[in-house]
Amino acid sequence: MKKLIVLLLLASISICYTTSLNAQVLHAQYKQTIAIPENVKQMTDISMRDYIIEEIKKQQTIFNLVTNNGICGFSTNEFTNDKYKIDGSGSVYMDMNTNEKYSIKNIIDKPFLVTETLKLLEWNITDETKEILGYQCYKATYGDTAAWFCAEIPIPFGPSGTFGLPGLILELQTPTDSYTATSINTHNTTIDIVLNLDKNKAITRKEYSKIQKKKLKELGVDSDGSEKGKPQVKVITM
């Protein structure tokens, strides 16, 4: 019953605010932090383990999320007042009007534009709350991913292409990394959010997976991230 009340409350808040926010540009900035891999935590060489952990902690990246009229861009590019270009590894372009999602993923140093249909995930919304940047946020989970979203900002987008909650995701935690909002601003203007890669050259996620496996095989790396007869290595693709 309590969970039902939470869902009804979120729905009513969303109806009240969506119209006004659609006429505005929302700009949220996030800090990405890489998670410490379990095999690093379990290293027996303490000094090497501590060194690697400190180096990983330094790998913090700032992303910008910009939304306007049902389109969302997520990239490390700087925010501008007239046009926001989406490119670079880890960037995502989503369009609710056409139900399209494009993700830019790198294998080694080569970028690939991956296309898929924008679809709702079966989030499990809980009544657990916490405050982020002065906003009350609700916790939602999907598999091993946890998200904290704000119903006061009823925009269904979030970091790294997450989608489908009744509010902007201000914090996202996955097994490999986490994103935390550091600022949120709205602008009474319009902005062009532009995918800076050719959509005609986009490939499906299935095609991308095939290319990724082929490249790993060429490098002599198994699908579990280990080289035959050698210590385990970490191959990062974004």
CATH number, domain of 7, equals 2.50.20
Summarize the confidence of residues 116-135 as an average pLDDT: 94
CA–CA separation, 124 and 146 (whole Å): 9
Which carries the bigger pLDDT value, residue 4 or residue 107?
A: 107
- Count structural domains, the chain: 1
Residue 209 lies in a domain: no
Residue 218 lies in a domain: no
Residue 231 lies in a domain: no
**What pTM value is reported for the model?**
0.78
pLDDT tens track for 192-210: 999 999 999 999 999 999 9
Mean pLDDT (the chain, rounded):
82
**If we measure between CA atoms, which residue out of 33, 27, 67, 29 comes closest to residue 173?**
33
What range does the domain containing 102 cover? 2-203
pLDDT tens track for 136-191: 999 999 999 999 999 999 999 999 999 999 999 999 999 888 999 999 999 888 89
Residue 236 lies in a domain: no
Band (44; pLDDT cuts 50, 70, 90):
confident
Strand partners, 179: 32, 172
Residue 233 lies in a domain: no
Residue 165 lies in a domain: yes
Residue 228 lies in a domain: no
